[in-house]
Amino acid sequence: MNIDLHCHTNISDGTLSPAELIALAVEREIDILSITDHDSIAAYDSVRSPNNKLRIIPGIEFSSQWRKSGIHIVGLNLDLSCEEILQGVALQSRARRERGEKIAEKLAHLGFADTLEGAKSFTSGGEVGRPHFAQHLVAIGAVSNIQQAFKRYLGAGKVGDIKEQWSDMATIIGWIRDAGGIAVLAHPTKYKMTRTKLSSLLNDFAAAGGEAMEVISGLQVPSVTRDMATLCNRHQLLASVGSDFHAPNQHWAALGMVAKLPEQSIPIWNRWS
C-alpha cells in the first residue's frame, strides 16, 4: 500500500489547499493519508475522501518541548469532536499567535519592521509560523531564500527560535489519547540529538503514553531507515511513515513517495485494520 501519515496544507505552512492536496493524493494513488497541519485540524472542515480507495486518517502535528528542546508530536486517528483535543488545539493556537508576536518583536530589534503583518500575508487564514516569516524576509530582500532566513534568523538557536510557550510532551500525548488517537514522535532524525539523548527522549515519550515513532520521514537513505527501525523496536513502539510534504517542488518530501518499512517494523496502521 501507498501510505503517507504526515503532510501539510496551507492551513499551516504548506502551499496546497486541502482540496488540492487530496487531488494530488488521488493522483499519486495513495491508499491511506493523514493531513497533519501544525496545531490545527481546520483542514478537516472541508476534507472528504473522494473515492473508496483513499482512506483518510484524521491527524495533527503538535509543537511541544522536551528538556528545552523543541519536538513535534503527531496525533493519528483522532476523534476530532473530542473536547480535550479541541481545547488542546485552542491552547496551541493561542501559543502560536503569541509566538508570532514574540518573533516579530525580536526581528524588530534587528531593524525589520511589521514582520508579523508581512508573515500573515503568506498564510491562507491559518496560523502564522516561522516559514511565513521566512517568506516575508525573502520578499523584502533581507535574505535571498528560505534556507538563509532560517540560518540567520529563524532556525534553532537563532533570534526567532522561540519554543518555551508550547504545552509539554505529557500534556499533548494526553490530549491525543483522550481523543482515541495514537501519539507519534515526528521525524526523530531532524532534532540533531546524540543517540543517547534521542534514546532518553523515546524513553520519556513512551513513559508518557506515546506509542509510535516515524521510522521514515521523507526521502531517507536506507541505512537511516534501518537504524530508526532498530531504535523503534528497542523502545517497543509502532512504526509510522510520512513524507512531511509541504510543497510540490520539494523532491525530498514528495507526497506519497515514502519508502516501505523494514520487515521487522510493526506498522501503526495495523491498529486500524
**Which residue in this structure is represented by grid cell 538557536?**
157
Domain boundaries, the chain: 3-88+168-271, 94-154
By DSSP bridging, strand 212-217 and strand 182-185 are: parallel
Q: For domain 3-88+168-271, which CATH number applies: 3.40.640.10, 3.30.750.24, 3.20.20.140, 2.40.10.10?
A: 3.20.20.140
Which position has the higher pLDDT, 273 or 74? 74
* pLDDT attached to residue 125: 66
**Which residue in this structure is represented by grid cell 488521488?**
26
Mean of the per-residue pLDDT values for the chain? Answer: 93
Cβ density class 205-216: b for 16+ within 10 Å, e for less: bbebebbbbbbb
Distance separating alpha carbons of residues 224 and 204, to the nearest angstrom? 22
Which segments of 115-202 are extended strands (E)?
182-185
> In CATH, what number does 94-154 get?
1.10.150.650
DSSP-assigned beta bridge partners for residue 240? 214
| pLDDT tens digits, one per residue of 95-151 | 888 888 999 999 999 999 999 999 888 887 667 888 889 999 999 999 999 899 999
Q: How sure is the predictor about 164, in pLDDT bands with cuts at 50, 70 and 90? A: low
φ and ψ at residue 214, rounded to 5 degrees: -80, 110
Cβ-based burial of 251 (10 A; exposed 0-12, middle 13-18, buried ≥19): exposed
| pLDDT tens digits, one per residue of 20-70 | 999 999 999 999 999 999 999 999 998 877 777 899 999 999 999 998 888
* pLDDT attached to residue 128: 83
Whole-model pTM?
A: 0.89
Query: For the residues 219-233, what does the mean pLDDT come to?
Result: 96
